[in-house]
Structure formats: C-alpha cells, structure tokens
Amino acid sequence: MNKLTFTAAVFAIVLQSCAQQNEKKGTTKSEDTQITYHPAINHSFTINDFLNENKQLEKDVDSIFSTLNDETKVAQLLMPAVGRLGETNDLITNKIKENKIGGVLMLNGTKEEFTNWIKAYNELNPHKNNLPFLYSADAEPSLVNRKITGSTPVIKANEMKTIDEVRKYTNIISKDLNDIGINYNFSPVVDMSPNKTVGFRSFGAVPENIIPWSNAFIQETQKNGIIATAKHFPGHGLVSGDTHKSLQVIDGELKEIKNYPKLIQDGVLSVMVAHIAVQNNPKYDTKGLPSTLSPEIVTNLLRNEYKFKGLIVTDAMNMGGVSSIPNAEIKAIEAGVDIILMPLNIDKAYSSILKKYQEDMSFKQKVDEASKRIVRMKLCMKK
C-alpha cells in the first residue's frame, strides 16, 4: 500500500469477536491495548479534496473524530523519525503498539529498508486500531539521494536549468516515494540562496525562478498523490547561520515571505516553519522565540493573514534552534502548529501534551483542530 485509504476494512473492529459491540461508541480493554471503535468510511476522496469545501468529507472527519479517545487525538500530532540520526525501527514499532504517534519521518536509510519498514507499520497499524500513517521524507532534489540510498539519481535543485527539468526530476522523485510508500514530501525549499545551509537546496540560484519552479515542483508532487511542503517559513535564505546548531534571527523585514502567497493560493498542502526568531519587526516580533513557537508567525501570519488551510509542521524539534527551550512541543501547538516533527523524547512529549490537553480547554481546542486537519488529510490520501 503506497498511499492511505479509509475503507470499511480499515475501520472495521480490530477483534472479530467484539463485532456485536460496534453499535456502541467507546473502548474496550484487550490484553495489550485499549481498542477504539472507528466507523467504516465508504466514501472515496482524493488529495485534491483537502482544501476544497466538501460536506461529505467534513461529515466523515467528524464521524471518525467523535470515536477517538484523548490519547489517539494527541498521537496524531507526533511524527518521530526512523533511520540514521532518528529512532530505531524497534522503538518506532513499540510506539505504534502503544498508540503514541500518527506518522513517521523516514530520515536516513536505504530504499529497501524504508519500503520494508512502511510495509510492516501498515500491517501492524490495523491490529492496534491506529489510523493510517503519514510517512514523510526530506526528498528534496539536493538531498534525496543521500537521504534515501538507492533512490533514482537526480541533479541538485540549484543545478537545474529549466522548469521542464524541475518537472522531470520531481516525477522521478515522486515515483520512488510512491514505490516506497512515502506520501508526504518535505520539499521544496523556497528560501533564497545566500545561506550556505539551505541555498543549494532551493531554486534560488536565479531569484525569479524560486516561485514558478517551486510551484512546478509542488504541482507535480501533488499530481502524484504526495503532499508537498513549502519550507522554511518565514524564510531561511537570508540569515547567516544554521538552525541545526543554534537559533537564527531575522532582523527587521521578512523579505522572503513574498515567496509563499502564490504557492498557498495555488494549493500547496503543507508548510514547514523554521526555528528562526524575528526581531525589530513591530508586527511579527517573536519575542526571542523561534518562529515555530510563535503565534505571531504561525497563526497570525501564516494561518490568518495568508489564509493557509493546510498542514503546518515544525522543523525537527531536536535542532539547536529550539531543543533547549522548555516545553517546546507545548509552545508549538499553542502557536498553531499541527505536526510536531522529531520530538526530543516521544514519551515525554506525548505525556506532557496529553496532560495539558486534559487540563486546559484552550489548549484542547488547538489540539483538536490540528488533529482534525490530520484526519482530514489522511482521509484524502488514496491508493
């Protein structure tokens, strides 16, 4: 299975012997987990339905969401990584069994092992009555062959000469992702070129190419049934340092946000927010925090001003630009983020989010909104 589908089989009762209990919403205890009964969904949706008004889709999202317990709702927001520099396959398998995560980033590994891991996770999830997963990768043209060993060779983003080349290599990347079972690409990079950490990863060698070429990458990716992601909002290309190592700062004007409105207007489904603070900007000052944890950037700018309705994902939460901040996962959700990528400690993040969810009504509303968006996206993914 290389995409997600919500069929009657997926949402059938996990234990056949409990079939008669399906008329009641709720949970029942088994020896190793708490089983939640999900309704069967017989309608078919596509990735193109996510951003469009669709009353049946909204009804089905509400139908599924109404059966989820608190633990499952919180789990949707957590996306750890597996592979080199991520968690082990055994640990991720245990988190699936514990119903604590809603997706996985395939970080650094071979095409074969990622394919096998995703197949195993897909086989395990229904037995644990988990919703299907979002499987992501940093499959940028400039990184994909290093991130996924054995993937089809492509040239780097800053080496492409025409928009037709962009489309060609996007389709090559997308075919590999479909073969593996990855349905969420953290690409393209829409930053300007000066920063040496991200510059070679964008189409910014010719500044006027950034928007049309990024848009071409997004449209081709999503035609292949894969979520595309514009990153790193609000802009990483004009800062001097590396957010992997420390918090970086935009001083004054947000010069790179001009790269996003056209991409949002044309339907990019995901935006990744960077661990970059903003200072000396009266409207968007992040008060010393990275943008990932800033309501001014995530909610006021991206969600409200730019009217972005897709998934908002953090950059990796183990990066130096955010890792030392207490309760960073909580702050990111409060800021308006949907997906917490690579939490420092999965169990600690899960427990702290769940605790606040059950104690704070305002926070509960934010988690519910994020969780519903993720459920909606999962409903819109297809085989």
pLDDT interval class at 382 (50, 70, 90): low
Q: CB burial class (10 A; 0-12, 13-18, 19+) of residue 344?
A: middle
| CA neighbor of 232 nearest in space, from 296, 314, 289 | 314
User: Given pLDDT bands bounded at 50, 70 and 90, which one contains residue 338?
Assistant: very high
Query: Which of 30 and 150 is assigned the larger pLDDT?
Result: 150
d(CA 376, CA 297): 24
pLDDT tens per residue across span 98-107: 999 999 999 9
- Residue 162's CB is within 10 A of a number of other CB atoms, namely 10
CB 84 within 8 A of CB 264: no
pLDDT at 13: 29
Distance in angstroms (rounded) separating the CA atoms of residues 34 and 337: 28
What is the pLDDT at residue 282? 93
- Give the C-alpha distances (Å, rounded to integers) separating 40 from 21, 61, 67, 136, 348: 14, 12, 11, 26, 32
State the Rg of the chain over Cα: 20
Mean pLDDT of 298-305: 98
| Whole-number Å distance between alpha carbons of 220 and 226 | 9
Tell which CATH classification among 2.60.120.650, 3.20.20.300, 3.30.1540.10, 3.30.360.10 matches the domain 16-380: 3.20.20.300
Q: How confident is the model at residue 245 (pLDDT cuts 50, 70, 90)?
A: confident
Give the residue extent of every domain in the chain: 16-380
Q: What is the per-residue pLDDT across 114-166, written as a single tens digit (0 to 9) for each? A: 999 999 999 999 999 999 999 999 999 999 999 999 999 999 999 999 999 99
- What is the chain's mean pLDDT, rounded? 89
Q: Which tokens in the block code for residue 9?
A: 């089989």
Tokens of 308: 């972005």
Cβ distance 228 to 269 under 8 Å? yes
Dist. CA 51–CA 308, nearest whole Å:
9
- Whether the ω angle into residue 282 lies within 30 degrees of 0, i.e. cis, is no
**Confidence tier at 198 by pLDDT (50, 70, 90):** confident
Instruction: Name the DSSP class of 202.
Output: B
